[in-house]
Amino acid sequence: MSDREQRDAIRERHRAARRRALDGLTVASWIDGRSVGDGDTADPDTDVTETRATRDPVIDEPIVEVPVATADTVDAAVTAAQATFDDEWGATTPRERSHRLHEWTDVLSDHVDELTLLESLDTGKPIAEARGEVEGAIDTLEYYASACRVQTGEQIPAGSDLHMYTRTEPFGVVGQITPWNFPAWAAAWKLGPALAAGNCSVLKPSAHAPLTTIRMAQLSTEVLPDGVCNVVTGPGSTTGSALVEHDGVRKLSFTGSGDVGTEVMRTVASRLAPVTLELGGKSPFVVFPDADLDTVVEAVADGIYYSTGEICDALSRALVHEDVYDEFVARFVEQSRSYVLGDPLDEETTMGPLTTADQFETVTEYVDVGLEAGATLATGGGTPDDGALKDGHYVEPTVFTDVDNDMRIAREEIFGPVQTVQSFATYEEAIELANDTPFGLAAGIGSESSDLIHHAAADIEAGVVYVNAYGPIRPEGPYGGFKQSGIGRDLGEEALTHYRQTKTVYVNLDEPSV
């Protein structure tokens, strides 16, 4: 079959998958238990005429037009969420919320295939990765369905004449903004702790990949009360800004770029609303001389090539001891060349395209930046030779050597399958290189020595440290960064605390009398 015939076959396969995925699905904002913005709502203030297409990154064709929620639509969502909080959800017990959330995960589990296809079409993820992330999203919601039942207050000993205790209470309405690289998983990271803590949510998914989030919210019908989980669709510059600026949003959680996160923080600071920010990264993986290279090469590859490198905690800087540097580079280049770029709907594909055309341009520009700075391109750097993939946003797994830490490719978040490899001579130099970055989201350590592992884990400035592996990310573990990588944490019991307020109660006691 010629390249042209293969391209045509991929195009037809994706068009058929698109028809199958959208069959019976209303793509619009989800507010107060109904679709809004499809021209079929009774409230003219929430009718939306502007749309924005989400595009299939494999064939670069529109998947579906998605309504852009206006400020009025966002206000309707916040109003609905507040009403539901006041009338019903805010008064539920942790036990009641636990039952509802478990019921929701049961429904989602029945629709894994549907959600997986939507996720793969919207982002370009290989179908196996998409399925794993949908299942990870469900697992996260299941965790919070259970964790919400262990929420407690504290009794504080203060003397025989004073009974002092604390209670925790939800904020009410929380705003949440998720990125396009992990749509289903990121939605669960936000919604799980927020709803478990007793809040109602207005969540804005990325305009580039909103489909799984919309469908997940729709699948909460008849499980969660109307108005508990609301989704508003549209770009950050309009819909996102309206959500961030809304006075009725009492707490805001944002995952995305550092520049936007800074603006979010500045905006909500004007009304003293708390904020959780999970921002960018430029994460190192430190390979010590005693490392098992078979294990570590695979770990570093997973950390930069999973999801085509479009991951906030991508292990994009390999710092390798000089004694094993040459062997590591040779093995890592070989591992990089082993990835199978192809149609994400094929099970054998291990790397799909970048999600957007803009990101494709960004990544290819960074390859030029690295070459111009004098780094050596050890492999990759271009688009695949396979003409059948010509329509998609594909970039080969890319490795740069002869990299200095002051080069842009070593300091700036590329958000693509581009790895830099640097050498070090001493433990102190390794830690200095690892920490010589404005970011601090994640890091990796490759070593067989428990002494090295624990000392390095303590000395590296990062919120998440992986040892001899990339991941797995589990809902039990707090996730977030140091420095410019953000404030606060997603996941874990700690995330529940970010969605609750603590109240201290003083009860003065008189001497008992009979």
**Nearest to residue 329, comparing CAs of 415, 419, 265, 406?**
419
With residues binned 3-state (H G I as helix, E B as strand, rest as coil), the percentages for the chain, rounded to 5, are 40, 20, 35
14 class by beta-carbon count within 10 Å (0-12 exposed, 13-18 middle, 19+ buried): buried
Q: Residue 353's Cα: distance from chain center in Å?
A: 18
Rounded to an integer, what distance in angstroms lies between the CA atom of residue 119 and that of residue 510?
Answer: 62
Angle, alpha carbons 179-469-362 (nearest 5°): 35
From the candidates 133, 278, 310, 413, which is the catalytic residue?
278
How far apart CA 360 and CA 392 sit, in angstroms, is: 9
Return d(Cα 60, Cα 75) in angstroms, integer.
33
* CB crowding 411-446: b at 16 or more within 10 Å, else e: bbbbbbbbbbbbbbeeeeebbebbbebebbbbbbbb
Residues in Cβ contact with 160 at an 8 Å cutoff, skipping those fewer than 6 apart: 509
Structural Rg of the chain based on CA atoms:
24
Q: Which of 502, 505, 31 is nearest to 274 (CA)?
A: 502
Q: Contact at 8 Å (CB) between 314 and 470?
A: no
Q: Which residue has the tokens 């920490």?
A: 435
Out of 148, 200, 229, 312, the active site residue is: 312
Q: Residue 265's CB: how many other CB atoms inside 10 A?
A: 18
Identify whether 278 is a catalytic site residue.
yes
Encoded tokens for 25: 């699905």
Helices (H) and strands (E) in the chain, counts: 16, 22
Q: CB–CB of 226/374 below 8 Å?
A: no
- CB count, 10 Å around CB of 33? 19
Q: Which helix (H) or strand (E) holds 288?
A: none
| Amino acid identity at 229 | C
Q: Cis before residue 344, ω within 30 degrees of 0?
A: no
First to last CA, the chain: 96
Q: Is 229 tagged catalytic?
A: no
CA atoms within 13 A on the CB side of 265: 16
The residues that are catalytic are 278, 312
